[in-house]
Structure 1
Amino acid sequence: MALFKRPTVGKPGEWYYCLKHQTVEEGPECRAADRFGPYGTREEAAHAMETARERNQEWDTDPKWHDADAGKGKGAAEGE
């Protein structure tokens, strides 16, 4: 048994989406690595996967992460 085990009891009104069980839960019932959240409402938690897909799409198309020198190696951007 761990000496400093953190309680997994959440606050009322904190909602999570469990990736393992693919369900919405109030308060963390599953381990942190298996959940998204906390969300302010049950509805937000229910749409966690959709929100993640939208954010991933935004990040994949964000020009800040796709420089013109990408893929040319570290020295290419520095003129080496």
Structure 2
Amino acid sequence: MAEDSEHQFWYNMRTGEVEQGLKSPSIDRAGPFATRDEAAHALEKLRANSARWAAEDAEENR
């Protein structure tokens, strides 16, 4: 069951602000996140995921 988007949090990549609900254009948003704190640390999570995926790709291409 999908959660109500108005009760989820999003990180606005353009402004660096955490928003609750769908306030900004989708191109500017990262998320959804369950909590404001998770959204506030979105860039850290995105960087970690990107690094992990790059390492996995490098390993697969050996």
What is the match of residue 20 of structure 2? Answer: 26
Shift, 1:28, TM fit: 1.5
Higher RCO (CA < 8 A, seq sep 6+): 2
Cα offsets for 1:25-73 (capped at 9, x unmatched): 0012110010101100001100000000000110111123xx13xxxxx
Identity of aligned residues (%): 32
What is the match of residue 52 of structure 2? Answer: 58
RMSD: 1.0
What stretches of structure 1 move > 6 A for 4+ residues in a row?
Answer: none
Normalising by the residue count of structure 2, what TM-score does the alignment of the two structures yield?
A: 0.82
What is the match of residue 6 of structure 1? Answer: none
2:19 partner amino acid: E
Instruction: Give secondary structure in 1 for the equivalent of 2:30.
Output: strand
Q: Which structure shows the higher helix fraction? A: 2
Normalising by the residue count of structure 1, what TM-score does the alignment of the two structures yield?
A: 0.65
